[in-house]
Amino acid sequence: MYIGVDIGTTLTKAVGYGDDGAELCVHSVPTQLSHGDGGRVEQDADAVVSSVTSVIRAVADELPGPPELVALTGQGDGCWLSDADGAPVRPAASWLDGRAADVVRRWDRDGTADAVLARNGGMIFPGASAAILAALDRDEPGVLDRAATATHCVGTVFRRLTGVRAVDLSDASYPFLDPRTRDWSDDVLRLTGLEHRRELLPPVVGPGGPAAELTEGAAGALGLPSGTTVSAGPYDLLASARGSGTVAPGDGLLIVGTTLACQVVTADPGPIPHRAGLLLATWQPDRWVRAMPAMVGTASLDWLLQLVGAPVSALAGLLAESPPGARGVTVLPYWSASGERAPFVEASARGRFDGLHLATSRADLVRALCEGLAYAARHCFDAAGLTGRLAVCGGGAQSAAWTQLFADVLGRPLDVVDVPQAGAYGAVLSALEARGETPGWPVPAHTVEPSTTHRAHYDDGFAAYLDRVAAARETWSHASEGNA
């Protein structure tokens, strides 16, 4: 038996699996984000570790026997700082954090961002560790002096459970990794002015991820035998790709979660003609993932449904009440306080509704938002180079009505993954494959075909969406100049 753990931005889940991949039990607990001045979005690292302990213990108590493996995956990016003992030296800066917006604007103007893109394959956004570290080096240098490690969420939890300081290739990929050597890039550290902080970066472990035994203290807290193996990574985007069977070059995965994560597998780590996205190294030496993870996905729908006083269960009915085109209401779905990172980087990007009038209903608002997010996904996949099969997973994919809308707007079939927790599933599969096993677990899915009735409407709608984005970017650019 095995336990897969997915440490999300606001929810930590653990799943127990049988030897055949059958899901035996699931436990989850929410975690909190704190929002502060200057775009700060932070998490209590100790609270996140406690959430992991809680869900693993709950699953372990329900399993008929002890698991032989605990596989971790979770949110990436941000900056999680700890001392030599693994204790946090400050709250973790989330990938949603916007304090480094001015750093990103400066790097965009002076060519640093493009130079990093050429070496790393990823475009820096405010929630990237390089930008946050640069802001902290300027504003809180004493904190960095006390820190021994700068990593992401999964690396932090792995250290606390095993005592081992390490990071897997996928979590290391952005923004300091050289994708060809698969090790830290001294050029990127120099370009970002962080070469004097190089010792904060933990060792990169690959092609498989870090694996180590639980410490005695962690084993006691989790209710597991001493010596139980813990695997770290791949982080959630790549774990979900593996858990959904998205492994062939050209194939893509849409994760309709807190973020709207659009990603395509590639055999070519070379640059693309887009100043956006991430290039993530997989545990296979000849495979990478070109990710275009738009900042906000289901979080924006949750916000709107709360605003209009409708439960999530009402989504299908609301979509049915408003026709395609939402009676003229349109949306630019850029709701993050730190702007957007895919398929373009703009720290000043903000969301907007247009075309409102006195006859606009809450159903029109909801449909317009869902259509806007689907257009954003199409924009991202065009940039990422999707040519093959497209799978979809995540909480939003549980809505048949919204999934149909995505298929209609994207104009292609969607293979809806019938694995309830694709990230945790993929983390366990990856860990087993890394140690030479071939578990052969199934990845069940069903296909949603796009409607031919609305194809022309959504093609025209997407073209109009791109025009609105271009016009808005001019406005945001002027706003950025004013904030320089």
Q: Looking at the structure, do residues 212 and 249 belong to the same domain, yes or no?
A: no
DSSP count for the chain of H helices, then E strands:
16, 24
| Helices 455-483 and 101-110: angle between axes, nearest 10 degrees | 90
Eight-class DSSP state of 346: B
Confidence at residue 78, expressed as pLDDT on a 0 to 100 scale: 98
What are the Cα distances from residue 251, in Å, to 121, 171, 384, 386, 415? 19, 21, 10, 6, 11
Q: Looking at the structure, do residues 205 and 269 belong to the same domain, yes or no?
A: no
Nearest C-alpha neighbor of 456 from the set 446, 464, 448: 464
Place of tokens 């608002």: 365
**Per-residue pLDDT averaged across 447-476, rounded?**
97
* pLDDT greater than 90 at residue 280: yes
What are the φ and ψ backbone dihedral angles of 214, each rounded to 5 degrees?
Answer: -60, 140
d(CA 375, CA 330): 11
Q: Looking at the structure, do residues 65 and 121 belong to the same domain, yes or no?
A: yes
| CA pseudo-torsion sign 131, 132, 134, 135 | positive
174-188 confidence digits (pLDDT tens): 999 999 899 999 999
51-69 confidence digits (pLDDT tens): 999 999 999 999 999 999 9
By the 8 A CB rule, do 99 and 38 touch? yes
Most confident of 88-92, 281-285, 439-443: 88-92
Query: SS3 for 117?
Result: helix
- Using pLDDT thresholds of 50, 70 and 90, give the confidence band for residue 12: very high
* pLDDT greater than 70 at residue 386: yes
397-437 confidence digits (pLDDT tens): 999 999 999 999 999 999 999 999 999 999 999 999 999 99
Quote the percentage of the chain above a pLDDT of 90.
94
* pLDDT greater than 60 at residue 484: no
Tell me whether residue 238 is in a domain: no
Domain count, the chain: 2
184-207 confidence digits (pLDDT tens): 999 999 999 999 999 999 999 988
Q: Which of 211, 233, 255 is the last residue of a domain?
A: 233
Q: Which of 206, 233, 260 is the last residue of a domain?
A: 233
Tell me whether residue 239 is in a domain: no
d(CA 17, CA 265): 26
H or E stretch including 32? none
**Per-residue pLDDT averaged across 31-40, rounded?**
96
Domain of residue 390 covers 245-484
d(CA 325, CA 323): 6
What are the Cα distances from residue 175, in Å, to 102, 148, 188? 17, 19, 8
Q: Looking at the structure, do residues 199 and 279 belong to the same domain, yes or no?
A: no
By the 8 A CB rule, do 59 and 71 touch? no
Round the average pLDDT of the chain to a whole number and report it. 96
d(CA 174, CA 122): 7
Tell me whether residue 89 is in a domain: yes
Confidence at residue 233, expressed as pLDDT on a 0 to 100 scale: 85
H or E stretch including 361? none
Quote the percentage of the chain above a pLDDT of 70.
99
Tell me whether residue 67 is in a domain: yes
Q: What is the CATH number of the domain that holds 207?
A: 3.30.420.40
Confidence at residue 482, expressed as pLDDT on a 0 to 100 scale: 60
**Per-residue pLDDT averaged across 313-330, rounded?**
98
Q: Which structure tokens are listed for 123?
A: 């475009």
d(CA 160, CA 235): 17
pTM: 0.95
